[in-house]
Structure 1
Amino acid sequence: MEQRPSTVRCAVTAQVSVLKGSSLPLPAELHYGTADPYAVRLSLGSSTGPPVTWVFARELLDEGMRRPVGPGAVLVVPRYCHRPRSVRVVLSDDIGAALVELPAAEVAAFLRQTFALVPAGTESDHLDLDGALAELIGRSG
């Protein structure tokens, strides 16, 4: 019996800039797994330490391919006239914000693979709620 993969990964080069700063190419990876079927992870490489990883909703990235979306720490903005081949992800926290530009075609291919793995609306089928509950009860007892 052939086993289906449980993760999707996409390595890309991101153009990263802090607001009012110059752009710097950094290795990046999009990651999706059935263990956390609602989320995607965006890891940005660093020459000074381990990668920095942001976790946000797969639905946010998918919807952001078509229109600006994201009321919180992650904002996704689709292709625009000055950079028609990229998707912009704005990451912000208490310290500041960074603009991450990702190749739109590769992000779209990544999303197609995630939806082939876990179709929209079936995410809860992949959650182990009994296992999570047992772990919580075991920790508190």
Structure 2
Amino acid sequence: MKSQISSLYGHWLIAESISFHWQNSLKASSFHLSTEHSRQVWQSLLYVVVEGYIDLGVRNDEIDAVLGNAVELQKLRRFRNATFHYQEDPFSAKYLDFKSDPNGELWVLKLNAAFRSFFERELPDHHFTEYVSQLSQAKNAGE
């Protein structure tokens, strides 16, 4: 199971690296469309982690509590589909249902924090832990 969790962690790290770029771009003096696209890709990649978590049958109270919000989970799934599958309308309901939800952004942040805590507990000696630490330090240094 540890190797499966490590694989899931690798997918989370990919999403986390996009989050790193998104957060750094927020510090820029002017808005650029890539800032929003980075957030969109990060949030969509986080759903890939959710899929793996569910498929592996892993249980964690904190993650499960966040995923218990079936409405937000479904919106994130559809949003991921709108991001990674061709849509004739770039502002389809799949995209807008999530983006226009006032609770969606906070829910995704809680989900990401729950995964971060889970991986820190489950893989304290994993070589990726150092990478996440470096990302966090770089984020904090840029503030």
- State the TM-score, normalizing by the size of structure 2: 0.29
* Higher RCO by CA contacts (8 Å cutoff, separation 6 or greater): 2
Q: From the two aligned structures, give the one with the greater strand fraction.
A: 1
- Larger Rg over CA atoms: 1
